[in-house]
Amino acid sequence: SYVLTQPPSVSVAPGKTARLSCGGDNIGLKSVHWYQQKPGQAPVLVMYYDRDRPSGIPERFSGSNSENTATLTINRVEAGDEADYFCQVWDSSSGYRGVFGGGTKLTVL
């Protein structure tokens, strides 16, 4: 089955740039979606099809996907960005299944 690998934690100072990675075998050939989850809340979509932002998501959020790594970049990080971030793809190699990465806890110092 397809595996997505995310670093458990990333820390960044306010105003700096956070880069959250999502690794997978030839993930550049898949569409990657990203969700933000704050404590006690349901996930919220923050990026879809690698680099498209839903309405209401600040332009500070951007995405990329190439070869074996997809990246969610958050510029000018704010305290309110502190959350868990999960990447997600669909895997059709053996049946059709959704796959989530293990998640990255973004801490704003």
Partner 1 sequence: EMELLESGGGSVQPGGSLRLSCSASGFTFRNYAISWVRQAPGKGLEWVSGVSGRGDHTYYADSVKGRFTVSRDNSKNTVYLEMSSLRGDDTAVYYCAKDTSADSGAYFDSWGQGALVTVSS
Question: The tokens 């569409």 sit on which residue?
Answer: 31
Cβ atoms of residues 6 and 14 within 8 Å: no
* Footprint of partner 1 (CB under 8 A): 1, 31, 33, 35, 37, 42-45, 48-49, 54, 84, 86, 88, 90, 95-103
Between residues 16 and 92, which has the closer beta carbon with respect to partner 1?
92
Burial class (CB in 10 A: 0-12, 13-18, 19+), 37: middle
Q: Rounded to the nearest whole angstrom, what is the least distance from the CB of residue 50 to partner 1 in the complex? A: 11
Q: How far is the CB of 30 from partner 1 (least distance, A)?
A: 11
